[in-house]
């Protein structure tokens, strides 16, 4: 048998199973979903499901890991071919991350929902943190005599970016992707040395 045909058939069944699983997950809690229900909707038997996944937990984990991989790849796009990156000089139209989130809104809303008892928020932030640690070497300018601990800097920045993204998704994209891209650039280069208490 032609191996290309077999590969396409395998990919087609995996895609169908994943899409049907996610469509059910939009309206039901993960614990309430059965493998039989997924197979029935996808029009495949349980044997086909188990040829791809050990369990529905394994299916969910693959969805999450593939999603995080795609997100990280999207973050890399504006500077993929640059050794040194000046944040303010990145063309806004090259920051496609927020378009990506809009295009995959239903997927991210499912993964951020209470339908799965997995801390996707933390996993999203951790994926960004790992990217920063593995691939970025920031130039940090501080007038303080105390040297910034770079590990905490990465954690602080990664979780800030993650919170920024998650709030935008959860509020159903109140601003355009280009607006959000401009905001993230400004936030990445801004510092605040003084704050004033309100009503004092």
Token output for 6: 């077999």
Domain boundaries, the chain: 1-53, 60-200
pLDDT band for 140, please (50, 70, 90 cuts).
confident
pLDDT value for 4: 58
Architecture per CATH, 1-53 = Orthogonal Bundle (1.10)
Predicted model pTM: 0.89
Please give the Cα distance from 200 to 119 (Å, whole number): 39
pLDDT band for 3, please (50, 70, 90 cuts).
low
Q: Helix 177-189 and helix 150-170: axis angle, to 10°?
A: 160
Q: 46 near 39, Cβ under 8 Å?
A: yes
Token output for 42: 């996808």
For 97-119, the pLDDT digits (tens) are 999 999 999 999 999 999 998 89
Please give the Cα distance from 103 to 106 (Å, whole number): 8
Other Cβ atoms within 10 Å of 114 Cβ, number: 7
């Amino acid at each position: 048998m032609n191996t290309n045909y077999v590969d396409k058939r395998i990919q087609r069944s995996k895609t169908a199973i994943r899409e049907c699983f996610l469509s059910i997950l939009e309206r039901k809690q993960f614990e309430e979903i059965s493998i039989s229900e997924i197979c029935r909707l996808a029009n495949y038997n349980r044997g086909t499901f188990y040829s791809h996944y050990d369990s529905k937990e394994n299916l969910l984990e693959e969805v999450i890991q593939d999603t995080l991989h795609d997100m990280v790849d999207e973050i890399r796009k504006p500077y993929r071919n640059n050794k040194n990156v000046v944040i303010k000089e990145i063309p806004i139209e090259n920051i496609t991350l927020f378009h990506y989130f809009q295009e995959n809104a239903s997927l991210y809303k499912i993964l951020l929902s209470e339908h799965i008892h997995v801390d996707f928020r933390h996993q999203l932030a951790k994926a960004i943190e790992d990217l920063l640690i593995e691939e970025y070497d920031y130039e940090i300018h501080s007038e303080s005599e105390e040297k910034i601990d770079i590990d905490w800097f990465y954690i602080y920045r990664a979780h800030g970016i993650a919170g920024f993204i998650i709030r935008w998704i959860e509020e159903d994209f109140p601003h355009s992707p280009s607006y959000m891209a401009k905001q993230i650039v400004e936030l990445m280069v801004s510092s605040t040395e003084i704050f004033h208490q309100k009503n004092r």
